[in-house]
């Protein structure tokens, strides 16, 4: 449980830093990153339901 929380926190931090870098590069890239994240979340949830 502890390792899961740590990985979740590190994922949130990396997602935040990625969003900040995407914001500097432009809103279009940020929108693409958000779309990719949604697709990955759907894929992960499908695999978990699996």
Give the tens place of pLDDT for each residue, 1-44: 567 777 887 888 888 888 777 667 676 777 778 888 888 888 77
Which band of pLDDT confidence, cut at 50, 70 and 90, is reported for residue 49? Answer: confident
In angstroms, the CA 10 to CA 28 distance is: 25
Q: Mark 20-39 as b/e (b = at least 16 C-beta within 10 Å).
A: eebeeeeeeebeebeeeeee
Contact 30, 18 (CB under 8 A): no
- Is this model's pTM higher than 0.95 or not? no
Query: What's the confidence (pLDDT) of residue 2?
Result: 62
């Amino acid at each position: 449980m502890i390792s899961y929380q740590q990985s979740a926190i590190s994922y949130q931090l990396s997602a935040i830093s990625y969003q900040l870098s995407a914001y500097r590069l432009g809103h279009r890239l940020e929108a693409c990153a958000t779309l990719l994240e949604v697709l990955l979340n759907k894929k992960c949830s499908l695999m978990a339901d699996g």
